[in-house]
């Protein structure tokens, strides 16, 4: 009886070994590869973040591309950013998480105070403008205006509008934020925008009866602020050469371009002043009267 039991036990062990070897050799029974669907069973928030603001972390990689393994088999499943991000000056910066605090939303970036240097590695055109065209903006840190990456603040957050008719979208028609004093504009900019600062000129122009009053400010002052054209730019030969030679400056007769309806002739040359009269000779003193005789 005991021998039979031993034989049965040995048979069972042999059969188990054979089945185990067959299963291990069968590719269909190989350990399953994890997918994103498996990760979400335990890690609920990261997949949601990636789905919402993942950028290329959503479209070009999977969870396993970054997290190659899982504890306890892999002790450090969180990779370095340089595992994928390499070859550009920006990727050589230290402390990626200072700005990219959540790798699952890499483009949702919030800055601390006085952050500029990291911005220089990507936004070189903007920095060049700030350095070349000096203004008060040049002294500010990038994060003073852009405290969240990609955020463009309204100009009126700091600056008072030139007039109630000028709103945020109109500011950009003349002012570039990184070179605000280089004021440029298109030919269709409304004259009322100019009037907000140049009130006297606008008032004179609109009251004028000349053809100039029908022109927009930008027609004469083309493209760039403070452009003052020569009259001959439009009026090529307004008068005969003899008159132009005698009066080379148009304003001597026509006053200013905004007020052409008030012409004035140059003051006539005054006659030479008469020679000053010689001072009159002092009157002779009368001799003192002789004392009376007693």
b/e code 182-197 from CB counts within 10 Å (16+ = b)? eeebeeebebebbbee
Whole-prediction pTM: 0.61
Angstrom CA distances, 48 to 36, 60, 107, 135, stand at 12, 16, 15, 43
Least confident among 36-40, 189-193, 212-216: 36-40
| pLDDT tens digits along 220-247 | 999 999 999 999 889 888 889 898 889 8
| pLDDT tens digits along 146-188 | 988 989 999 999 999 999 989 999 998 899 999 999 999 999 9
């Amino acid at each position: 009886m005991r021998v039979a039991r031993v034989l049965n036990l040995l048979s069972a062990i042999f059969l188990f070994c054979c089945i185990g070897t067959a299963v291990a050799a069968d590719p269909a029974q190989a350990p399953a590869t994890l997918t994103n669907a498996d990760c979400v069973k335990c890690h609920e928030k990261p997949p949601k973040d990636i789905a919402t603001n993942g950028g290329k972390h959503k479209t070009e990689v999977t969870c396993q591309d970054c997290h190659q393994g899982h504890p306890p088999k892999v002790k450090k499943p969180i990779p370095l950013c340089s595992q994928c991000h390499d070859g550009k000056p920006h990727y050589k910066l230290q402390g990626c998480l200072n700005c990219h605090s959540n790798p699952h939303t890499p483009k949702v970036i919030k800055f601390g105070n006085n952050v500029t240097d990291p911005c220089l590695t990507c936004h070189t055109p903007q920095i060049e403008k700030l350095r070349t065209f000096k203004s008060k903006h040049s002294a500010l840190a990038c994060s003073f205006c852009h405290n969240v990456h990609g955020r463009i603040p309204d100009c009126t957050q700091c600056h008072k509008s030139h007039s109630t008719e000028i709103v945020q979208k109109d500011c950009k028609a003349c002012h570039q934020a990184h070179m605000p004093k280089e004021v440029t504009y298109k030919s269709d900019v409304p004259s009322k925008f100019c009037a907000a600062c140049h009130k006297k000129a606008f008032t004179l122009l609109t009251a004028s009866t000349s053809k100039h009053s029908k022109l927009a400010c930008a027609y004469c002052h083309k493209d760039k602020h403070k452009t003052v054209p020569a009259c001959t730019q439009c009026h090529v030969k307004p008068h005969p050469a003899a008159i132009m030679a005698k009066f080379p400056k148009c304003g001597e007769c026509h006053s200013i371009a905004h007020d052409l309806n008030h012409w004035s002739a140059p003051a006539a040359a005054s006659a030479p002043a008469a020679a000053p009269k010689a001072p009159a000779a002092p009157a002779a003193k009368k001799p003192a009267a002789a004392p009376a005789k007693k």
